[in-house]
Amino acid sequence: MTAFDPDMDTATYPTSARPEDAADYQRLVANPLLAAVALLGVWVLFRYSLEVRNLGLFLATLFAASVCPFLIQYHCLDCGRTDLAVRSRVHVCPAVIHRRRNGEEPPVLPPTVRAQVKTWAIVLIMTGLLYAIFHHHS
């Protein structure tokens, strides 16, 4: 007797499709929360390193800031998996394979992870600029 229950389990079949070919059929949502929290910590360390004039701490802060983009995550709306966004192109779940094999149109929404991350970056930059403008005038 096998542990496979056709009513409860989904069958997984080996696929010859390259993950890059399935990227258009993914439904992924970018989650920048971890990177945003890390950026807040970087900002605090940056201000402190300038205040105490510590070059080592300043360089460590620059390194931490360069690592923050790699902390952006994605969440798959089809299978519920959450992983780092740098690995989003290779995520292939059964629903993505099903859409691709059946010749369905790629989903329009949500936009690609890259477009979502660019939008989040623009929002973050604009928020910072508006904060600097209004904080300077008050």
Instruction: Kindly give the confidence (pLDDT) of every residue in the chain, 138 residues in length, as a single tens digit, with 9 standing for 90 and above.
Output: 566 666 666 655 555 556 556 778 889 999 999 999 999 999 999 999 999 999 999 999 999 999 999 999 999 998 989 999 998 888 888 888 888 888 888 888 888 889 999 999 999 899 989 988 988 766
Q: Are residues 85 and 114 in the same domain?
A: yes
Residue 41: closest CA among 71, 83, 16, 79:
71
In 19-112, which residue ranges form alpha helices assigned H by DSSP?
A: 19-22, 33-52, 55-67, 94-101
**AA identity, residue 119:** T
Domain count of the fold of the chain: 2
Q: Are residues 114 and 90 in the same domain?
A: yes
Q: Are residues 64 and 91 in the same domain?
A: no
Q: Are residues 78 and 62 in the same domain?
A: no
Would you state the pLDDT for residue 20?
A: 58
Q: Are residues 46 and 112 in the same domain?
A: no
- Is residue 97 classed exposed, middle or buried when 0-12, 13-18 and 19+ CB atoms within 10 A define those classes? middle
The CA-based diameter of the chain, rounded to the nearest angstrom, is 74
- Global pTM reads 0.70
